[in-house]
Structure 1
Amino acid sequence: MAVRTRLKHLTPVDEQVLRLVGAHLGALASKDLKARCRDGLEHSADTWAARKRDLTTASSSRWAGSITKASHDQWALTRRGQLAHIQNLEAGIRTIAHRLSLPVGEKGSRGVPGGYRSRQEWFAKSRRLHVLEDRLAGEQADREAGLVHVVRGGKRLARTRHHLDAAQLTEARWRRCWESERWFLAADGESGKRYGNETIRVSPEGEVSIKLPAPLAHLANAPHGRYVLACRVTFPHRGAEWADRIEANRAVAYRIHLDVGRDRWYVTASWQIPPTQTIPLASALAEGVIGVDTNADHLAAWRLDVHGNPIGSPRRFFYDLSGTRDHRDAQVRHALTRLLNWAKTCGVKAIAIEDLDFGAEKTREKHGRKKRFRQLISGMPTGRLRARLTSMTDQMSIAIIAVDPAYTSKWGAQHWQQPLTCKTRETTRHDAAAVAIGRRAQGHPIRRRTAPPHDDRSDRRGHRTAQARSGAPGREGTRPRIPGPRTRCAGPGCGANAGDQCAQHRSGHTAEHGFWQQDSFPLSL
């Protein structure tokens, strides 16, 4: 859980102290990250302790602990990104090698790409194959050696330095952004300490104080080498939870940062939420479920009852993923808030959503010519949406059911789009997919049961429209045979083996029914 608020009414002296502390600790963090990357795979608890001792003399033991932990987390994150890049390169090499092995112009089958369209494209892809193989060899060598490439402040901002005109930035403005991103003003919380943090402390009255590093202790305006800011802060969002934690002296981590674009200082408080116990699936589905289909610009949702039937009208929660990162994150958060408020109003305790992962679909080798499709799936915030939804539903006591996304849009449109369309409502493909997702979460088949025929050609209506439970045995099998004459032309017993595929004497099937065993010899012989 993380909440943020603004540091208002800071004096020029306050801002100068924050800049000096951030720059000093940022230099120490850069030095420590360099040492951590130099250790590579030889990192151990002893080397970690040695790095912390070196930093303690230039700051404090708690600042040194926060810096070394941040360096270790950054190295681990870069290591995971390196592995993902290697897997992406391997997938691209496999795809190109497969397509190069096929004749030019050969069409592909379902899920498998075919050959390239021309000799020119074949030649260009053969050269790209060698490029990818060289990149893969280099990345694998770096991984085996424990070498990672990381930039404090961000690789994107570092590259922007060479394209200031395109980014519409001056060199002085870029320098301010670069320095602020490389500052370090973050402290981990400690349970049992006063207000949950000894380094950056926020009191219940909103007083913010910072433990100054040893070289800057002469700037302190409070006892024990602390500097108290002139402003007072409050957390409008989840402020009661934050207050409960600091009153009980439970750990709360803080981070102070500068937004250069707005020229505003912010403080972010974060803490961990204990994991909640998972509830049984039957209890979560007791009041029905809301199926949610994730799209590039909206969430399509429909409420289903316990039998898998849609209730009411579909709902759509739109969001705009253009603009800055903070704007996109806010759009996703607002859409999820509206979705959860609607679920709370309906009394539903479970939301079904697709377990989407487009990691293997974004490669240029698999969808090279489908540029708009690659842009579409790349723009869908599946990871951020999943993380946000999990955190927000936990606070509202709503369960999340992740279902297999295979064929939900296709089968939903096939079986539900036309029946749910009426004169006053135009059901879209996404709305039908939401119904399919909800039914799959409940354990029901996606297809609809067809209406029964007339009385003179059926079993007197009643079986095919009844919704069998998900645990009912044989719910997808053939209907039981009712003895006696049923139509004018079929005699009794006709079609008794209609559901037995082995009775058709087709190739590949045996005509033997059941288990056969020879009887024992009689004792009189």
Structure 2
Amino acid sequence: MAHGGRNGKRERALRVLADPFTVSAPTGARIRDRLRVSASDAEILRVIGEHLGGYARADLAERIRIGRVPVKANRRAERKRTLTQVSSSRWAGAITRASEDQYQLSLRCLFDERASLRRTIAKIRKRMAVPCGRRVGGVRGYPGRAERAQKQCRLQALTARLAEVERRIEAGHPAIVIGGRRLAKARHNLADAGLTESKWRERWDARRLFLTADGESGAPYGNYTISVEPVNGTVTIVLPEPLRHLANAPRGRYRLACTVSFNHRQEQWLDRIAANRSVRYDIVCDPERGRWYLDASWSTPTTPLPTPAELAATDVRLLAVDLNADHLAACVVDVHGNPVGQPITVPTDLTGTASRRDGRLRQAISELIRLAHQHGCAGLAIENLGFTDARATGRETMGRGKRGKTFRRTVANLPTAKFRDRLAGMAHHADLYVVAVDPAYTSRWGTQHWKAPLQQQSKTTTVTGHHAASVAIGRRALGHGTRRRPGVTAHDQRIVARRTTGQTVTVPRARGNTSPPRTTGTPHQGDKTCRNRSDQLVQFPVSQDHSGRQPASPVYSDSANNGQHS
């Protein structure tokens, strides 16, 4: 706990660091291909989507009216029987399943919003309890009365929002907008959205279509409702019962004139449909581009992943990555926690449209994967960033004024969740592991302990604090402390020129006139022996005093140093 320092100042207690963990692999896969439909096929798809979309919205409204009940009491079987009369049993199953998933997702969003509002309200109340311009118990009051009055108004507004959220949670009635709340609000201000009424209506109707068919193991090609033949890529759709008169194929089916061929993960998709394993298909309309797409998705088996301790025991390297606003700072770390080679900078320009940002993020992750393979790394180490509390409290935590506003915008633009998910998925398919660590003090301790030695080692690269933070991340992922062992930082040209090994391992040297044991890659030291020199070489040379005497050798009975001060 916090206590008074030597100068009478209050010292803050260090955060409790969470243990590193291996990020789980993705539990499913989703691929997409374009449907080059004709005008008649596009019209048929719209008719089917609007017919099923209307019943899907009605079923979702009924599910919301039922409220928060156990799974057995949500009356899904009853609702499915009603929908089967106007569609088919498989379409009805897909509609009721989508309604349940949407309802549960909306409830989770309500719980997250309640937690965020509670954090914000608690932070404002804590600061309002302190007089203006004063600090009590480490809590700083607001600078002036005007700002405090504004916070009082904001507190009342947040309290009213919290009451509404708690009422919805208690009643089990989340607010759901089929088609998107943002697009619904744009209807009242088309000029600012840059849309005309006809274009808005086209987007609105396209988002409210329902053309989703769940897969079924044992069915032909893994899906009976929407099936894709593996030989020629023909797409066939089972029509709902009232639309069977539109069929152009046997058994009430409609066959599209176009074909599909999934290029991405095509072999995996072919293996599943050849074995009649379930594959879900979604037909999506993009009115902005005037295109139709077919998405195929399936679940993948989960395999147990090694823990960070098990990875460290296998003598592996990790590529440690520090995420920043405009670049990724990386450094290769060996099993002993020593940086290997030059620090790496991968630029990322995450500006522009969402698709452009996502493409550039994927490009940066692909470069990280290439670097990991190039340096023989078994995985990547990243920070487990979330900024949940900081984003919820806003100015109460991340500063105020012009400087604080710039910092808050920087934090808000960091794609932490998307970066973690994208990296986990792409690394999994590249046979790499991802280890997430606690981000506490990585930048501070990395700059304090590793920036200067890294710059001393890297003669042609400008080392930044972000590179030093990446070293701290890699060491923490391998179970080592961030701080270096004392006595290994002084500069000595004679020792720097030698090849180095891990600084965190103590190897007893041989006695007598025999040569000391050497690690792989360590040059032979000659026939002579040095009386007070251990065979263990360090990343940075051992300091000497002006008399030229070497410090004493380490005690041979000591266990391996973990990089932390005693």
TM-score, normalised relative to structure 2: 0.79
- Whole-angstrom distance in 2 between the partners of 1:146 and 1:368: 37
Tell me if the contact between 1:354 and 1:437 (Cα under 8 Å) persists in the aligned partners: yes
Match 1:101 to one of 129, 134, 140 = 129
Opposite residue 28 of structure 1, the aligned amino acid is Y
> Residue in 2 aligned with 1:414?
448
Q: Residues 434-458 of structure 1, C-alpha deviation per residue, up to 9 Å, x if partnerless? A: 1110011112221223334436697
Structure 1, residues 196-248: CA drift from partner, whole Å, max 9, x if none? Answer: 11111111121111111111111111111111111111111111111111111
Query: C-alpha separation between the residues in 1 aligned to 2:38 and 2:61?
Result: 35
1:445 match: 481
CA displacement, residues 305-347 of structure 1 (integer Å, 9 cap, x when unaligned):
1221111122223333323333322222222122112212222
User: Within 2, Cα distance between the matches of 1:161 and 1:249?
Assistant: 44
Q: Structure 1 residue aligned with 2:58, among 31, 49, 52?
A: 31
29-38 or 337-346, larger mean C-alpha shift: 337-346
Tell me which residue corresponds to 2:519.
Answer: none
Q: Name the counterpart of 2:529.
A: none
Quote the residue 2:425 is aligned against.
391
Q: Is the 8 A contact 1:352 1:437 kept in 2?
A: yes
- Does residue 366 (structure 1) correspond to residue 397 (structure 2)? The answer is yes
Query: Is residue 3–residue 268 contact of structure 1 (8 Å, CA) maintained in 2?
Result: yes
* Cα gap change, 1:438 to 1:220, in 2 (>3 Å): same
Q: Tell me whether 348-357 or 419-428 shows the greater mean CA deviation.
A: 419-428
Tell me by how many angstroms 1:352 deviates.
0.9
- Which residues of 2 match residues 59-78 of structure 1 at below 5 A? 59-78=87-106
Identity %: 45
Whether 1:425 and 2:461 are equivalent positions in the alignment is yes
Please name the residue that 1:16 is paired with: 43
State the Cα deviation string for residues 39-87 of structure 1 (Å, max 9, x = none): 1113643511111111111111111111111111111111111111111
Check the 8 A contact 1:293/1:437 in 2, yes or no: yes
* Structure 1 equivalent of residue 210 of structure 2: 184
The one-letter code matched in structure 1 to 2:261 is T
Inter-partner Cα distance in structure 2 for 1:471 and 1:429: 22
Specify the code of the residue in structure 2 equivalent to 1:254: Y
Q: Deviations over 1:390-421 (max 9, x none)?
A: 22222222112111100101111111112212
Match of 1:3 among 31, 52, 55: 31
Superposed, 1:450-469 pairs within 5 Å as: 450-451=487-488, 452-454=542-544, 460-463=551-554, 469=560
2:162 to 136, 148, 159: 136
**How many Å apart are 1:255 and its aligned residue?**
0.7
Alpha-carbon distance in 1 for matches of 2:552, 2:49? 77
In the alignment, what sits opposite 1:168?
Answer: 194
Change (3 A) 1:457 1:95: farther
Q: Which runs of 5+ in 1 are unaligned?
A: 478-525
Partner of 1:405: helix, strand, or coil? coil
Distance 1:371 1:74 in 2: 35
For the residue of structure 1 that corresponds to 2:140, the secondary structure is coil
Question: In structure 2, do the counterparts of structure 1 residues 30 and 269 end up closer, same or farther at CA, with 3 Å as the change threshold?
Answer: same
1:229 maps to 2:256 = yes
Query: Shift in Å at residue 188 of structure 1?
Result: 1.2
Match of residue 360 from structure 2: 331
Question: What's the counterpart of residue 316 of structure 1?
Answer: 345
Structure 1 range deviating more: 293-302 or 186-195? 293-302
Using the TM superposition, give the Cα deviation of residue 303 of structure 1 relative to its aligned residue in structure 2, in angstroms.
Answer: 0.5
Paired with 1:161 and 1:108, the residues of 2 have a C-alpha distance of 49
Tell me, in whole angstroms, the C-alpha distance in 2 between the residues paired with 1:432 and 1:44. Answer: 50
Question: How far did 1:107 drift?
Answer: 4.3
Shift of 1:283: 4.9
Q: Which has more radius of gyration?
A: 1
Which of 211, 217, 238 is matched with 1:211 structurally? 238
Alignment partner, residue 153 of structure 1 = 179
Partner of 2:453, secondary structure, is coil
Unaligned runs of 5+ in 2: 1-28, 489-541
Larger CA deviation: 335-344 vs 425-434 = 335-344
Superimposed CA distance per residue, residues 78-128 of structure 1 (whole angstroms, 9 cap, x where no aligned partner)? 11111111111111111111111111012477xx55100111111121122
**Match for residue 140 of structure 2?**
114
Name 2:385's counterpart in structure 1.
Answer: 356
**Matches for 1:477-492 after TM superposition, within 5 Å:** 477=566
> Residue 317 of structure 2 contacts residue 379 of structure 2 at CA under 8 Å; is this kept in 1?
yes
Which range moved further: 297-306 or 224-233?
297-306
Which residue of structure 2 lines up, in the alignment, with residue 267 of structure 1?
Answer: 294
CA distance in 2 between partners of 1:31 and 1:116 (Å): 50
Inter-CA distance 217–108: structure 2 relative to 1 (3 Å threshold): farther
CA gap of 1:142–1:280, structure 2 versus 1, over 3 A, is closer
Distance 2:139 2:261 in 1: 57
Q: Which residue of 2 aligns with 1:381?
A: 415
Change (3 A) 1:453 1:313: closer
Contact 1:296 1:379 in 2 (8 A): yes
Deviation at 1:21?
0.7
Q: Name the SS of the counterpart of 1:228 in structure 2.
A: strand
Q: Distance in 1 between the 2:461 and 2:287 partners?
A: 48
Rounded to whole Å, the distance in 2 between the matches of 1:343 and 1:238 is 22
Instruction: Tell whether the 8 Å contact from 2:361 to 2:419 is kept in structure 1 after alignment.
Output: yes
Question: 2:117 maps to what in 1?
Answer: 89
Task: Show the counterpart of 1:249.
Answer: 276
Partners in 2 of 1:197 and 1:234 — Cα distance? Answer: 16
Give distance in 1, aligned partners of 2:446 and 2:111: 36
Which of 319, 324, 329 pairs up with 1:290? 319
Distance 1:43 1:279 in 2: 36
Deviation at 1:459, TM superposition (A): 6.3
Distance in 1 (CA, whole Å) between partners of 2:398 and 2:136 is 13
Q: Which stretch has the larger CA shift, 179-188 or 326-335?
A: 326-335
Q: Which residue number in structure 1 is paired with residue 528 of structure 2?
A: none
Maintained 8 Å contact 1:302/1:310: yes
Q: Check the 8 A contact 2:480/2:562 in 1, yes or no.
A: no
Structure-1 separation of matches of 2:462 and 2:136:
35
Match of 1:510 in 2: none
Distance 1:241 1:123 in 2: 61
Q: Identify the residue that residue 508 of structure 1 maps to in structure 2.
A: none
What TM-score do the two structures reach when normalised by structure 1? Answer: 0.85
Deviates more, 1:280-289 or 1:261-270: 280-289
Deviations 1:134-190 (A, max 9, x none): 221221122111121010011011111112111111110010000001111111111
User: Match of 2:26?
Assistant: none
Contact 2:130 2:136 (C-alpha < 8 Å) held by counterparts:
no
Stretch deviating more after TM superposition (342-351 or 224-233): 342-351
